[in-house]
Each structure stands twice: as C-alpha cells, then as structure tokens.
Amino acid sequence: MDENKARPSAGLRNSAKQAPEAPGVYLWKDPEGVVIYVGKAKSLKARLASYFSGKREIKTRVLVSKAETLEWILTETEYEALLLENNLIKQYSPRYNINLKDGKTYPAIRITNEEYPRVFRTRRIVDDGSRYFGPYPSADVIDRYLDLVRRLFPLRRCKTLRKRETPCMYYHIGRCGAPCAGKTTREEYARQVERVATLLSGDTEALSAALKADMEAASAELRFEKAAALRDTIQAIEAFRGDSGVVDFAYGDRDYVAWALDGSLADFVVFQTRSGRLVGRDLFRERSFGSEAEAAAEFLTAYYGRDRVPPPEVFVKDASGLGLAADFLRRETGSDFVLSTPGERRHEAALAMAEHNAREDLSKRRREAGDLEALESLRAALGLESLPELIEGFDIAQLSGKHTVASLVSFRNGAPNKKGYRVYKIKSLDGAIDDFAAMREATARHYTRVANEGADAPDLVLIDGGRGQVSAACDIIDALGLDVTVVGLAKENEELWPRGAKEPVVMPKDSAGLRLVVAVRDEAHRFATGMNQRLRGKAVGFPVLEAVRGVGPTRAKRIMEAFGSLKSVAEAEPAYIASRSGLDAAAAAAVKAAAARAAAAGLDSGDVPGGE
C-alpha cells in the first residue's frame, strides 16, 4: 500500500509517548470517534511505542492510518487489563478486533441460588439470584480455585439434589456434607457456602480469622481431629492468599466516580459497571475554583440528569458534602439511587482504579501545560501559528578542527526531553574548521531519519549562531521537504534571527520566551562541549596510558571508559585502578603515575577549554 497514506499523525505519536509504564487497555478511534480497535498491554508505553517503530507489519500500518485519536484506561494488573479488554470488545465490536477474537466469555465461578447451593465454573451470567466471582483469564486459573474450594469445603457437586439413604463417594472422602442424606443441617451448609464466598471475594483475612475461632473452640471442646482439620484449612488458605485477588461482580449496575484536583485543574473519571461488567470509562477535564466537595457536587449534577439517570448505586471516595446534590438528582431523575462510600473490598478496588486513572490524567495535563507563558511569548515574538511545543537545539563543538561534534537537545513544553538528545560525530571535515558544513551534516543526518521514519518534526529549530548557521540548516531542511521554523540565537545581544530576516527579533530581557531559548541554547552548548571534551580526553589518554608497560589499546580504552579523564585516573587509588582494569598492583601504580604527569602538564581533557 502507499506508505504515505499509512504514516501516523504526529498527534497519535505524541499521544503514545505520553502513555505510562503501567498495565491497561487502549482504544484506537477513527475521526468520527468510533472505536476501531481495543488492545491490552502489560506496559502501555512499550506497547503503544511498538505501533510507531520502523518495523511495522502492514496490518499495523493500516490500523494506525485509520485512527484519529488514542485513549487508554489504566488497570492495577495485566490480569485486569485482559478482562477489561474482553468486555470492551464485546461492547464496541471494533472493526479491527473482529477477526482476532473468538467471542468467548471468560469463565467465572457461580454459587447457585438453591437451598443447598452448588459451586462450579460457568460462562453465562444469569440474573437468578446466583452469585458470581471472577471472571478468570483461563480455565487453568479457575481450576486452581475450584480445587481449593472442593478440598476445603464439603459442598455438593450433583446437579440434581435427590433424597438418598446412602451418601455418595464424595461424602466418604470428606468432600461433600451429603445434604441429600441428611448428614448436614441447612445452617451448617449455608455457613460453608458463605466461607466459600468470602474466599472467592478475596477476603482471606476475615475467613482465616473465622476459622481460627472455630479451631480454638474445637480444641477447647477436646475435638482435636476437628481442630486439626481446621488448622490444615487455615494453612491452605494462607498459602493461597497471594493469588486471591478476584473481583466479585455480582449482577447489577453501578458507577464509580473519582476525581483528582490540583489548583484549578480538576479531573473526573466515571467507571461504569452494567450487568456486573466494567463496560466503560468517562473522563472529563475541567477547571474548578471551589473546594473539593463543591467541585464534586458540581460535576455530579452536570453529569447526571434526565438523559443520564444514575444507576442504583454510585460510589465516591467521600460522600460528605454531597447530600444536597444527591437529593437534587433524585428529584430531577426520579431515580432512588444511593450515593455512598464503598464498604466492601470489591467496590474499594474498583473506585481505587478510577482514582488511579484520574490522578494519572491530571499528571498528564500538568506535563502538557508545561511552561505556557514562555511558549506563548515565543509564539507571539516569532509570529508562529501555534505554540512551539517541541523545540530542538543544535550546537557545534571542536578544538582546532579536531573531534568536531554536533549536539541536538530536545525541549518539550518548555522542559528538557532527555530521551530526544543526540550527538553526532562529524565525519565530513577531515580536520578542517567549518562550522557551517558541520551544521549541514548534523541536520542532514538527523532530519533524514525524521523524514524516513515519520518521526515527530519539531515546531522550532534553534541554532546557536546567526544568519550563516541558520542558512546552513535551512538548506538541508528545505531539501527534505520539512515544514519547520528555524531560528538562530546570536550570543552578542541574545538576538533571534529567523530565516531570511534582515533584522533580528529582539525580545525583552526579562521575557519568559527569551529565557526559554537561552536555556535551549545553553543546554545544547553544554552537551556538545562535554562530548568534545570526552573525545579529546580519550585521544590524549589512550597514548599516555599505552606507554605504560602491560597496557595495550584494549586496556587503555577500558580505563578511560571507567574513569572518563586522566585527572580521575590520577586521583584514584592503585588498588581501584587494578580492580577496574585487571592490571596487577605494579602496573596500576605506573598507570596512576603516568596519568598524574599528563594531567600536571595540562593534557587532561578537563584542563582543555571547550571550542565551538
């Protein structure tokens, strides 16, 4: 297919870069807002980055080319992401998931609503009063839970309960209480069922406490065999505790409303469960100038109404101060819903997940906002159409034509983006001093890669220099067909030189925009000079160290990589030099002495001034 048509937009790539290193579910949406693909990931950042790597399959290119926006929902574990992905696929039937899923529902454990309930695996949720636990990601996982339940709790397995004179085999091996033969009372059987429900809902601490009380009572009554059996049950549950993070999704409709506030910024997240399944998330970015309770009340009354009636239960982390809002909504919608804080672990977990998403998005908003004052100041001064959210700065460093390097630093939203830093060893000069040629080579190498990979092009390129340096960079950028604004920053008066300008742009000395470009320029200079010094240090250091008996090119390189400069070698103890290089004590002492002599003679990289 046409590669250009499949090239992802910068907006999608930027969205993917903002993803956290956390498990979750992501949704690709087309220009109409329709979900076209739902996926899950152990690390959202790593998974979404893979969509923009150089080695993408054709189907991946097609998917990304059809997408307009990207969203994600954080989960606590990869397990939760797997199950949420399944539910969302069933809800949206995304176009690009249809041929990838088998349409099966994940299995759950069902406790039936019978006089003597059964416990078994199922894929069907029936609103008949039964209780359901799970869902579980595989049959193997669910079998482990059922095996534990059947070993510890004597509940019946037969589908039809008929009165019998003689109990079945399971009774004789202690795996069934035999209600069919009257060997257990209804009360005792119900007690065992409740303990199974407690185990499956993850509250193993409460279950262990109840069993310990029974064990102590049995021991006090001298029923030592019973006490020993209870002890074994407690130990089995304790061993299983770490694997019991299961969610009870009893049939019903609920909303979990969470929020995160920072100054005037307010994020609200609503997790919606319908028929016992987590089916969606609403995220709202707002501004609020009231208290937390006022902001929450304002959101609830705006979110719910006659066109969006609250479900029977709405959970929030703090319901104090929300009574009037709840009363208003009951009258407005006719729904007799309950607004409260969660009192059960299963609801606390769901609300915690919603709060996690609200906090994460609020952090993302703060990062996106960046240094808005500086970006706006720079936009106005240079007449840019939009804020220069991504700025890249170049600088050249060399000394008498040797070890010439070009640095590239990246600033996103006014802050250094270290992952975008690059350094280029200039190869085309062969000892000549030509900063313009060095700038052309550096920009050619960097922006050719940007063009070929469809990577993000910057909103602004800042060159350390005046019109000549700007012209050198523009020659390359124009040849590559990139639409990028290039500006030089002259050191003399901190003047900005846009391409083709006859007069510089002079910004007020105290302006936030000037402060930002100076910071970019200085960071590029620091980065280039540091690399130039390291290269010179290695060039000087290698011959000095190789002159020591027993030190060849490989050992000299190892020492310089470990210490960075001759000065550092001279200051180190011989024993430490020996440990880092593999030399014996005498050779290490000789290396220290040689480095000290070279450093004293001014040959150390740290004593050589940086060039430009």
User: What pLDDT, on the 0 to 100 scale, is given for residue 493?
Assistant: 80
- Comparing 211-215, 306-310, 340-344, 391-395, the range with the smallest average pLDDT is 306-310
Start-to-end Cα distance in the chain? 46
Residue 488 has pLDDT above 80, yes or no: yes
In this structure, what CATH number is given to the domain that contains residue 67?
Answer: 3.40.1440.10
- Comparing 6-20, 323-337, 484-498, the range with the smallest average pLDDT is 6-20
For residue 540, is it within any domain?
A: no
The stretch 39-68 carries a mean pLDDT of 78
* Residue of 53, 43, 61 whose CA lies nearest to 1: 61
Mind spelling out the 3-state secondary structure of 67-128? CCEEEEEECCCHHHHHHHHHHHHHHHCCCCCCCCCCCCCCCEEEECCCCCCCEEEECCCCCC
For residue 542, is it within any domain?
A: no
For residue 209, is it within any domain?
A: yes
3-state helix, strand, coil in the chain (%, to 5): 45, 20, 35
Structural domain including 584 reads 547-607
pLDDT band at 239 (very low <50, low <70, confident <90, very high): low
For residue 474, is it within any domain?
A: yes
Question: 216 and 117 share a domain?
Answer: yes
Q: Tell me the per-residue pLDDT of 96-114, one tens digit each, with 9 for 90 and over.
A: 764 333 334 557 788 999 9
Question: 465 and 415 share a domain?
Answer: yes
Which tops the pLDDT comparison, 369 or 477? 477
User: What pLDDT, on the 0 to 100 scale, is given for residue 102?
Assistant: 37
User: What pLDDT, on the 0 to 100 scale, is given for residue 227?
Assistant: 82
For residue 14, is it within any domain?
A: yes
Question: 269 and 382 share a domain?
Answer: no
In 366-490, the DSSP E strands lie at: 390-399, 402-412, 415-416, 422-425, 460-464, 485-490
Give me the numbers of helices (H) and strands (E) for the chain, helices first please: 20, 18
Q: Tell me the per-residue pLDDT of 373-399, one tens digit each, with 9 for 90 and over.
A: 788 889 989 998 888 989 999 988 876
Residue 159 has pLDDT above 90, yes or no: no
Domain boundary among 243, 272, 304: 243
Phi, psi torsion values for 422, nearest 5 degrees: -145, 155
pLDDT band at 324 (very low <50, low <70, confident <90, very high): confident
The DSSP code for 418 is G
Cβ neighbours, 10 Å, residue 380: 12
Residue 160 has pLDDT above 50, yes or no: yes
- Contact indicator for 431, 608 with CB cutoff of 8 Å: no
Phi, psi torsion values for 464, nearest 5 degrees: -80, 95
pLDDT band at 54 (very low <50, low <70, confident <90, very high): low
In this structure, what CATH number is given to the domain that contains residue 324?
Answer: 3.30.420
pLDDT band at 343 (very low <50, low <70, confident <90, very high): confident
Residue 611 has pLDDT above 50, yes or no: no
The rounded distance, in Å, linking the Cα atoms of 110 and 129 is 10
Residue 425, beta-bridge partner list:
405
In this structure, what CATH number is given to the domain that contains residue 505?
Answer: 3.30.420.340
The stretch 432-447 carries a mean pLDDT of 84
Q: Which residues contact 496 (CB under 8 A, 6 or more apart)?
A: 381, 382, 487, 488, 489, 490, 504, 505, 506, 507, 517
Domain boundary among 368, 403, 421: 368
- Comparing 458-467, 502-511, 536-545, the range with the smallest average pLDDT is 536-545
The stretch 23-42 carries a mean pLDDT of 89
The rounded distance, in Å, linking the Cα atoms of 156 and 482 is 73
Question: 342 and 306 share a domain?
Answer: yes
User: What pLDDT, on the 0 to 100 scale, is given for residue 263?
Assistant: 65
Q: Tell me the per-residue pLDDT of 164-193, one tens digit each, with 9 for 90 and over.
A: 888 888 888 888 989 998 989 999 999 889
Handedness of CA 508, 512, 515, 517 (dihedral sign): negative
Phi, psi torsion values for 305, nearest 5 degrees: 180, -165
Peptide bond into 135 cis (omega under 30): yes
The rounded distance, in Å, linking the Cα atoms of 11 and 596 is 54
Which tops the pLDDT comparison, 206 or 173? 173
Residue 459 has pLDDT above 50, yes or no: yes
- Contact indicator for 258, 275 with CB cutoff of 8 Å: no
Q: Tell me the per-residue pLDDT of 219-231, one tens digit each, with 9 for 90 and over.
A: 888 888 878 877 8
For residue 1, is it within any domain?
A: no
Global pTM reads: 0.38
For residue 581, is it within any domain?
A: yes
Q: Which residue type does 11 have? A: G
Which tops the pLDDT comparison, 287 or 244? 287
Locate all alpha helices (DSSP H) within 119-258, ordered by sequence.
139-152, 169-172, 186-200, 204-220, 224-240
User: What pLDDT, on the 0 to 100 scale, is given for residue 24?
Assistant: 92
Question: 382 and 507 share a domain?
Answer: yes
Question: 162 and 19 share a domain?
Answer: no
pLDDT band at 323 (very low <50, low <70, confident <90, very high): confident
The DSSP code for 7 is P
Question: 113 and 237 share a domain?
Answer: yes
Phi, psi torsion values for 431, nearest 5 degrees: 90, -10
User: What pLDDT, on the 0 to 100 scale, is given for residue 62?
Assistant: 67
Question: 521 and 456 share a domain?
Answer: yes
User: What pLDDT, on the 0 to 100 scale, is given for residue 434?
Assistant: 75
For residue 320, is it within any domain?
A: yes
Total structural domains in the chain? 5
Q: Tell me the per-residue pLDDT of 530-556, one tens digit each, with 9 for 90 and over.
A: 665 665 545 444 677 777 888 887 888
Domain boundary among 368, 392, 418: 368
Question: 394 and 511 share a domain?
Answer: yes
* Residue of 319, 324, 323, 326 whose CA lies nearest to 303: 326
User: What pLDDT, on the 0 to 100 scale, is given for residue 134?
Assistant: 61
pLDDT band at 63 (very low <50, low <70, confident <90, very high): confident
| Residue 307 C-beta-side C-alpha neighbours within 13 Å | 2
In this structure, what CATH number is given to the domain that contains residue 599?
Answer: 1.10.150
The rounded distance, in Å, linking the Cα atoms of 264 and 579 is 56
The DSSP code for 457 is P
The stretch 132-151 carries a mean pLDDT of 72
User: What pLDDT, on the 0 to 100 scale, is given for residue 7?
Assistant: 40
| Burial group, residue 610, by CB count within 10 angstroms (0-12, 13-18, 19+) | middle
The rounded distance, in Å, linking the Cα atoms of 27 and 595 is 59
Question: 363 and 484 share a domain?
Answer: no
Question: 300 and 186 share a domain?
Answer: no
Residue 590, helix vs strand vs coil: helix
- Contact indicator for 88, 280 with CB cutoff of 8 Å: yes
Question: 156 and 278 share a domain?
Answer: no
Q: What is the mean pLDDT of the chain?
A: 80
Q: What percent of the chain has pLDDT over 90?
A: 18
Handedness of CA 178, 182, 183, 184 (dihedral sign): positive
Cβ neighbours, 10 Å, residue 232: 13
The stretch 407-430 carries a mean pLDDT of 85
User: What pLDDT, on the 0 to 100 scale, is given for residue 349?
Assistant: 82
The stretch 55-82 carries a mean pLDDT of 77
